[in-house]
Structure 1
Amino acid sequence: METQEHRESIPAGSDSYINLLKINRELLVTHIRNTQCVVDNLLKNDYFSAEDAEIVGACPTQPDKVRKLLDLVQSKGEEVSEFFLYVLQQLADAYVDLRPWLLEICYSPSQLIQSKTIVNTDPVSRYTQKLRHQLGCDSKFMLCYAQKEDLLLEEIYMDTVMELVSFSNENMGSLGSLSCLLDHSSGVLNEQGETIFVFGDAGVGKSMLLQRLQSLWASGRLDIGVKFFFHFRCRMFSCFKESDMLCLQDLLFKHYCYPEQDPDEVFAFLLRFPHVALFTFDGLDELHSDFDLSRVPDSCCPWEPAHPLVLLANLLSGRLLKGASKLLTARTGVEVPRQLLRKKVLLRGFSPSHLQTYARKMFPERPAQDRLLQQLEANPNLCSLCTVPLFCWIIFRCFQHFYTTLEGSPQLSDCTVTLTDVFLLVTEVHLNRTQPSSLVQRNTRSPAETFSAGWRTLRSLGQVAHSGMERSLFVFTQEEVQASELQEGDLQLGFLRAVPEMTPEGGQQSYEFFHITLQAFFTAFFLVVDNKVGHRELLRFFQEWAPPGEAAVESCYPPFFPFQCLGGGRLARSDPFKNKDHFQFTNLFLCGLLSKARQKLLQHLVPAATLRRKRKALWGHLFASLRAYLKSLPRCQSGGFSQVQAMPTFLWMLRCIYETQSQKVGQLAAKGICANYLKLTFCNACSADCSALSFVLHHSRKQLALDLDNNNLNDYGVRELQPCFSRLTVIRLSVNQITDSGVKVLCEELTKYKILEYLGLYNNQITDVGARYVAQILDECKALTHLKLGKNKISSEGGKWLALAVKNSTSISEIGMWGNQIGDEGAKAFAEALKNHPSLINLSLAANCISTEGGKSLARALQQNTTLKIFWLTQNELNDEVAESFAEMLKVNQTLKHLWLIQNQITAMGTAQLAKALQNNTGITEICLNGNLIEPEEAKVFEDEKRIICF
């Protein structure tokens, strides 16, 4: 029976709900593909009996089921008919084709119907719920180093510095949140591209970022309109055989998450609406090195079986599920074809502020937090490692270990700590976790005793790591693990972890190292301690350093090597940095483990004679490789320097040399550097690389120029360069996130030696405080000729300090201040500096908020200047009054060659004054007025004066 309330809400006449269903019967039969969901809700609200449901279910075809369902609903009256419409409206995913019709009829449910319960048994919605549950479980806990610990992701995760970059990796701005990462309106490089590419160094937090995305989506906090979230690890695709063939549906459902009901219906929905799906693929670099995304055959049919790698490539390109969001991660150096990319995002790791926030998370108690930060401040080498989130976590956990076991007296040494030190410390900590705990007695084993006791475990881990590294494989089968004689207790240490099952049917258990750098560490450990490892195998992974060309390759090896280049010339001529960072980390750890400082630790594990033999072979190879590499680089003569553009390979070599911590090795390496101008721009160098540079360069007997523009050095990097400042006449540190703190270090060091000729600090974060330090450098370094300070945060106060220093300098010839905010007051100070200046040739005060008074002061000052040849005042607020003052100046000053007044507020009237003044000036070459208030018709008046450039 219908209630009185509902009878009153029935539309009048032909607009009743029963009539509505009758009139649109054909449309409903055509578009309703899911009758079960409606039947479930009718049963839930007692509108249908079990017998009614059976009648509908007994119909042979889907259209017959819809017809029978409509007949039964209409027979039960207006209330049931309206409820039927309400179900269609509320379960939009299940009845997506009826959305336009429901909007057209302007259906609005009555109060009674709104009070009814709707249950969503739609297969698509059920599958979304299952995905959320699975991803929520998978992402709840941080993938921590020791499997015995449960660290909640919510409590430990922190965003890192994320930058949008161009195809050539130039900075296009920062990203404030993970939701911005998936915003298709910003940072788009290619509208046709389908893939968002996130890259960064090993350990910088790429996998954690994806885990955080999963967690946010699973909990409904990532509002990006995504109903399906599929997460794959690229290394999984290496586990398939060459003969394996899958269709897309099997890849998604059988190898990820299987729908509980109607998989065909779920897959059909995905194919119709691919834009509601998000795919994440973690670790492209963990595929085989010879996998080339651009050469994979096309596969456009979602039902056609293909090899899983083909499916991966075609998903990324958009040939499969075009419109779905795809997010791909890889380490720095891995290239993805441009046509696949929609945007590129570079992960930078932790900034100093991130580091402090992370310290507060890990150490809630203020005393422990302060002690940690003081230790890091005192040891910049250790602190630089903390810019990488993985290493930061390892170091903090080791600090926690010492803090708790040594009664609050952390013993992080004040001496240099290398990456090898950190991983040895991690290994020692985790080996000691197997010791029986005692409430009254601490573990007092020395590191040597700990490693001796864990010898069997360490060697087995090394054997597994080495066997995989040789084949660039990172997932190990049960047989491979058992063959290494690893025991169940060894697997609980946290170095190896079980790989999540990839099929619903289950299968053989596989394992992987917690992180690629850990596998590299144990590979190096195996190469050092295994007596059977000879020179060829020891240096196996150094073959990637061989420069192209057979002659260069042969020269890589010192005379005592009885063989030519390892692996032959073929590998040497291939791209040395195509997915090869795992080899380079192995080389790095090999250098650290074979250093003399480790002899005492390892002498109980390997004979001293073996260590000496391997060390001699490694050192000889390092020197020969460095010399051969530098000789292979193109050189040019510029400004009296022999300049060489080094590449990331050079940084890897320096890192390895630094890892030895041998002054003798550093001295020999310095002798091998023949060029006196090292250009390391756009090498993604971090502050730790400055330690390696200083370790070698401070041994140089000659003065050097060092160009580190466009890297990620920050203030810690500046501090680590301190040992080599006594050798540097040119220092270029533009675009490196340097603040006033870093400039203070520069001031303290450079004023000791007073040999600086060129200082580049463009596009950093320097304020008036830092400007005062730069002014002091200019005052005391009498040889300084070039100073670049553009695009910082310097106001009139800092401008005054700098101008005064310029005024007192007799050597400065070029000043770049583009993009600061010195204003009229700062301009007036520079005007005073310009009067009768003996050496200044080039000055840029562009984009500095200079208006009428400042501009006139500068013009008047140039009447008393005979040295300046280039003057840039682009993008200021200069008007015709200023133009008139410059016209007066041109009647007197005959030495100025280039005057740039681009993008100001000068009209044709001011231009006429300048043109008239040129009749009495033969020295000026050009006056650029592009972008001022001059119309094309007005500009024609000045066509005969070629030195006036209006457009």
Structure 2
Amino acid sequence: MEKQGHREMEGGLSESHSHVRLLKVNRELLVTHIRNVQCLVDNLLHNDYFSAEDAEIVCACPTQPDKVRKILDLVQSKGEEVSEFFLYVLQQLADAYVDLRPWLLEISFSPSQLIQNKTIVNTDPVSRYTQKLRHQLGCDSKFMLCYAQKEELLLEETYTDTIMELVSFSNEILGSLSSLACLLDPSSDVLNEHGETVFVFGDAGVGKSMLLQRLQSLWASGRLGAEIKFFFHFRCRIFSCFKDSDTLSLQDLLFKHFCYPEQDPEEVFAFLLRFPQAALFTFDGLDELHSDFDLSRVPDTCCPREPAHPLVLLANLLSGRLLQGARKLLTARTGVEVPRHLLRKKVLLRGFSPIHLRAYARRMFPERAAQAHLLQQLEANPNLCSLCAVPLFCWIIFRCFQYFHSAFEGSPQRPDCAVTLTDVFLLVTEVHLNRTQPRSLVQRNTRSTAETFRAGLRTLRALGQVARSGMEQSLFVFCQDDVEASGLQEADLALGFLRTTPALGPCGGQSYEFFHITLQAFFTAFFLVVDDKVGTQELLRFFREWTPPGEGAAASCLPSLLPFQRWRGGRPAGSDLFKNKDHFQFTNLFLCGLLSKARQELLRHLVPAAALRRKRHALWTHLCTSMRSYLKSLPRLHSGGFKQVQAMPTFLWMLRCIYETQSQKVARLAARGVCADYLKLTFCNACSADCSALSYVLHHLHKSLALDLDNNNLNDYGVRELQPCLSRLVVLRLSVNQITDNGVKVLCEELTKYKILTYLGYAFLGTLGQ
């Protein structure tokens, strides 16, 4: 300690600026507010201001206040430099000594250069836990694991922004969000000052999980929310794994089922309870939460330290009864509704715009030649380009680009064949199956598609069995017993369709899930087609979700998330408060695609001919009957000389299914069922790919039609997909869509050919449309 005495002798501080005196005068304040003694001792030891004997003396004190008093005695006895360093530690480790922040600002403490050169060791439990969270989330978000089984693509190199739109409670567009930071800004674009949850919704595959993964990556690297000390990420489907009798405390949910503190969990949890605004919770996939839990038993309040069912904890976190002030970001598929009083912001994800798509292509294909070829093929095929507006499907298509390239090579014009979603999923299945085949360095795989599927049929049936079992119960996480019962082997899991999930839930053990819910729907449909024991009723089971008009709005939306706070008589029999039906709708869509005429050459190698004919006949009959029945039951309004009907999103699903069949006969039958002459499809979240399906049916009409597509998610590719039916339209409304001057130019060229259009609604189109 000679250097301390030397400094004081050469030029001591005046008493008014003495650090020793500052500690003496404020002794009781420091004793009251210093809770972390160990961090001070560690730093004093590390910088040789304390000896081992000094540390032992402090630790021997019986109570926390006594330890603080002893540290102060020792520090003051060692002079000005040690006292100044003591204050410097309090200032630098703000999380550990949060109660002293106002005092440190009040005294305007400014350390000398000598003290600033000292090393601060942060052994504070809260800071250490934040570091651990950053490390864990950084590892979890380093690679794109939302779509891929293996660590193949760096998120930083491949993530591309999508269209994010702020919407009102009634889903009217209020503006766009320019960055992810704006998503979490608590002061801007607020719908409800008392709400704490940012609700992000969009169609399956549009990038909701990827957005959360990107947020994790930004926070883990210190590029997002410096004021956020804790980031807890949960997938809602995990809450379905708990039994009705399972209970745990909030502390156990956060620490044992997410990330456990390395030291003093009680102090970390106490900090979280004191400063909930320092925490960010993300809950991914509310629509995937399915449970038979008796919600009538849920209490009105929930203490953070008392055990409760995990669903109770989730509901009370979202309502603000637990950790009020903490930020929450919740995602779900379109159609799920959350009570308004919970929401601070409501954000709709639209997927890729043409600009985003080109940016994504540049990231995925850095080589300019490959990039140019890809963009050329996409421009030549608007149908394929429309599918690419959905990031998941775009990722699959880009991964299989060489196959599409060989299919369309030498055709600079738009190909005659249409690429359906079933084509895309069959293709990715074939690619994955071929990965397992041994091949030499000089010989490429020459198996036909039929041979590939026939060789992999056992595996595909086993995957289908797992998928269907879960689909029937609306479950998306499978235990080891489910996988083993299906006959799946270790080599089958290596294909990458199923991936392991974190061992969350009270039972632990290995669990699995399909890499996306649409893949589970595809394998469910595949099983229903190739299993000759599946009867007609089983085949058409999921078509029951085509609800009639009047029920559509209610059936497509999630009931109020927290109705149990008002219920006391139990819930209606058979109701599922956490249900969304898109996974059923995708299953129906893939059924139509697999049983289409174009797929018969493949399926005749996999399914007995008689069973295939029976299933095709049953599906087409049901499809046409359902379409006619649905259209006839729509309420009609006579307005402006038109018989006007407002179709619901269910109608879009019907059109998508008809398009997947690629059957002109089915499309003509469906067109005959369109009795009205004014079809409204406003606020249906129709995307550009839906224009392909809509045009596929409407171009068979033998009469003129008024078509209203206002307030949807169409873009320039959607306009190009409407071309075949533009000759039938006398009214076309396209306001509030993602249409630029390029789309307007296509419209102008096409509509001037036919000259039957009497009205074009074009608000918010490109400059040429104004």
Shorter-chain TM-score range:
over 0.9
Percent of aligned pairs with the same residue? Answer: 82
Shift of 1:10: 4.4
Deviation (angstroms), 1:25: 1.7
Residue 407 of structure 1: how far off its partner (Å) = 14
After superposition, residues 325-404 of structure 1 pair within 5 angstroms as 325-400=327-402
Alignment of 1:216-615 (within 5 A): 216-288=218-290, 297-400=299-402, 414-502=416-504, 507-547=508-548, 578-615=579-616
CA distance in 1, matches of 2:431, 2:60: 66
**Secondary structure of 1:742 counterpart:** helix
**What is the deviation of 1:735?**
1.0
What is residue 128 of structure 1 aligned with on the other side? 130
User: For residues 103-114 of structure 1, what are the structure 2 equivalents within 5 Å?
Assistant: 103-114=105-116
Residue of structure 2 equivalent to 1:728 = 729
Q: Is the 2:146–2:210 Cα contact (8 Å) retained in structure 1? A: no
Q: Does the residue aligned with 2:345 lie in a helix, a strand or coil?
A: strand
Provide the secondary structure at the position in 2 that maps to 1:344: strand
Query: Which residue does 2:686 correspond to in 1?
Result: 685
Higher mean C-alpha displacement, 139-148 vs 172-181: 139-148
Cα distance between partner residues in 2 of 1:236 and 1:19: 56
For residue 572 of structure 1, report the CA deviation from its aligned partner. Answer: 13
Within 1, Cα distance between the matches of 2:133 and 2:296? 31
The answer for the alignment partner of 1:622 in structure 2 is: 623
Matches of 1:472 and 1:571 in 2, distance apart? 18
The answer on whether the counterparts of 1:349 and 1:388 sit within 8 Å (CA) in structure 2 is yes
Cα deviations by residue, 1:159-178 (Å, 9 ceiling, x for unpaired)? 11111111011111111111
**Aligned amino acid, residue 197 of structure 2:** T
The within-5 A match list for 1:113-152 is 113-143=115-145, 145-152=147-154
Q: Distance in 2 between matches of 1:417 and 1:281?
A: 34
How far does the alpha carbon of each residue in 1:330-372 deviate from its partner, in whole angstroms, 9 at most, with x for none? 1111111111000001111110011111111112222222221
Q: Which runs of 5+ in 1 are unaligned?
A: 551-569, 772-791, 793-951
Relative to structure 1, the CA distance from residue 335 to residue 294 in structure 2 (aligned partners, 3 Å threshold; closer, same or farther) is: farther
Determine if contact 2:134/2:219 at 8 Å carries over to the other structure: yes
Mapped to 1, the partners of 2:624 and 2:12 lie a distance apart of 91
Counterpart pick for 2:155 among 141, 153, 170: 153
Q: Describe the SS at the equivalent of 1:343.
A: strand
Q: Distance between the aligned counterparts of 1:717 and 1:572, measured in 2?
A: 42
Describe the shift of the 1:6–1:113 C-alpha distance in structure 2 as closer, same or farther (beyond 3 A).
Answer: farther
Distance 1:297 1:666 in 2: 53
Q: 1:70 aligns with which of 63, 72, 80?
A: 72
C-alpha offsets along residues 556-596 of structure 1, whole Å, 9 cap, x if unaligned?
xxxxxxxxxxxxxx999989995111000001001000111
Aligned equivalents of 1:575, 1:591: Cα separation in 2: 27
CA gap of 1:479–1:693, structure 2 versus 1, over 3 A, is same
SS in 2 for 1:235: helix
For the Cα contact (< 8 Å) 1:278–1:326, is it kept in 2? Answer: yes
Who wins on radius of gyration, i.e. which is larger?
1
- Give the TM-score normalised by the residue count of structure 1: 0.76
Aligned to 2:328, the other structure's residue is in SS state strand
Structure 1 residues 293, 218: closer, same or farther in 2, change over 3 A? farther
Distance 1:56 1:571, change over 3 A: closer
**1:689 Cα deviation after fit:** 0.7
Question: Could you say which residue in structure 2 is the equivalent of 1:708?
Answer: 709
Letter in structure 2 aligned against 1:273: F
CA contact (8 A) 1:543 1:571 kept: no
Q: Do the aligned residues in 2 keep the contact of 1:31 with 1:97 (CA within 8 Å)?
A: yes
Secondary structure, counterpart of 1:762 in structure 2: coil
**Counterpart AA for 2:397:** I
- How far apart are the structure 2 equivalents of 1:599 and 1:422? 17
Structure 2: how far apart are the matches of 1:147 and 1:41? 44
Decide whether aligned partners of structure 1 residues 424 and 342 sit closer, same or farther in structure 2, where only a CA change above 3 A counts.
same
| Structure 1 residue 51 displacement after superposition | 1.6
2:162 & 2:44 partners in 1: Cα distance?
Answer: 50
Closer, same or farther: CA 721–574 of 1 in aligned 2, 3 Å:
farther
Alignment match of 2:7 (pick from 5, 9, 17) = 5
Correspondence for 1:208 among 203, 207, 210:
210
Match of 1:33 among 32, 35, 45: 35
Q: Offset at 1:640? A: 1.8
SS in 2 for 1:437: coil
Aligned partner of residue 486 in structure 1, secondary structure: coil
Q: 1:420 to 1:114 in 2, by over 3 A?
A: same
Q: 1:601 to 1:486 in 2, by over 3 A?
A: same
The SS at the match of 2:72 is helix
How far does residue 288 in structure 1 lie from its aligned partner after superposition? 1.0
Residue identity in the other structure for 1:599:
Q
**Superposed counterparts of 1:791-802, under 5 Å:** 792=770
**Larger RCO, structure (CA 8 Å, separation 6 or more):** 2
Residues 104-153 of structure 1, C-alpha deviations (whole Å, 9 max, x = no match)? 22222122222211110000000000000000000001116443452100
The 8 Å contact of residues 144 and 151 in structure 1, kept in 2 or not, is answered as no
Residue aligned with 1:198, SS: strand
Alpha-carbon shift at residue 20 of structure 1 (Å) = 2.1
Aligned partner of residue 426 in structure 1, secondary structure? helix
Structure 1 pair 192/146, CA: closer, same or farther in 2 (3 Å)?
Answer: closer
Structure 1 match to 2:560:
none
- Inter-partner Cα distance in structure 1 for 2:497 and 2:740: 38
Q: Using the TM superposition, name which of 316-325 and 118-127 deviates more.
A: 316-325
Kept in 2, the 8 Å contact 1:376–1:383? The answer is: yes
1:928 corresponding residue in structure 2 = none
Shift of 1:485: 0.6
Cross-structure match for 1:22: 24
| Whole-angstrom distance in 2 between the partners of 1:299 and 1:692 | 49
Distance 1:528 1:479 in 2: 25
Q: Which of 89, 96, 99 is residue 97 of structure 1 equivalent to?
A: 99
Aligned-partner Cα distance in 2 for 1:653–1:687: 16
| Structure 1 residue 227 displacement after superposition | 0.7
In the TM superposition, what is the alpha-carbon distance from 1:401 to its structure 2 partner?
5.8
2: CA distance, partners of 1:73 / 1:409: 82
TM-score (norm 2): 0.93
Whole-angstrom CA distance in 2 between matches of 1:571 and 1:591:
33
Aligned counterparts of 1:291 and 1:684: Cα–Cα separation in 2: 32
Question: How far apart in 2 are the matches of 1:307 and 1:180?
Answer: 34
> Match for 1:359: what amino acid?
A
Helix, strand or coil: the match of 2:750?
helix
Equivalence for 1:669 = 670
Q: Which amino acid aligns with 2:527?
A: F
Deviation at 1:3, TM superposition (A): 4.2
Query: What residue number does 2:763 align with?
Result: 762
Q: Distance in 2 between matches of 1:211 and 1:398?
A: 24
Aligned length: 748
Give distance in 2, aligned partners of 1:388 and 1:105. Answer: 56
Q: Is the contact between residue 164 and residue 172 of structure 1 (CA under 8 Å) also seen in structure 2? A: yes
CA shift digits 1:202-250 (9 cap, x unpaired): 1111101110111111111114411111111111111111111111111
Give structure 2 stretches of 5+ with no counterpart: 552-570
Distance in 2 of aligned mates of 1:294 and 1:225: 38
Conserved? CA contact 1:299–1:311, under 8 Å: no
Query: What is the Cα deviation at residue 547 of structure 1?
Result: 1.7
Say which SS state the counterpart of residue 132 (structure 1) adopts. Answer: helix
Write the deviation string for residues 66-123 of structure 1: whole angstroms up to 9, x where unpaired: 1221222222222212211111111111011111122222222122222211110000
- Going from structure 1 to structure 2, the CA distance change for 1:525 and 1:544 (only over 3 Å counts) comes to same
Letter in 2 for 1:248: L
Tell me which residue corresponds to 1:659.
660
Q: In the aligned structure 2, how far is the partner of 1:173 from the partner of 1:522?
A: 38
Contact 1:520–1:583 (CA under 8 A) maintained in structure 2:
yes
Give per-residue Cα distances to partners, 1:529-561, cap 9 Å, x unaligned: 1111111111111111132799xxxxxxxxxxx
Contact 1:9 1:110 in 2 (8 A): no
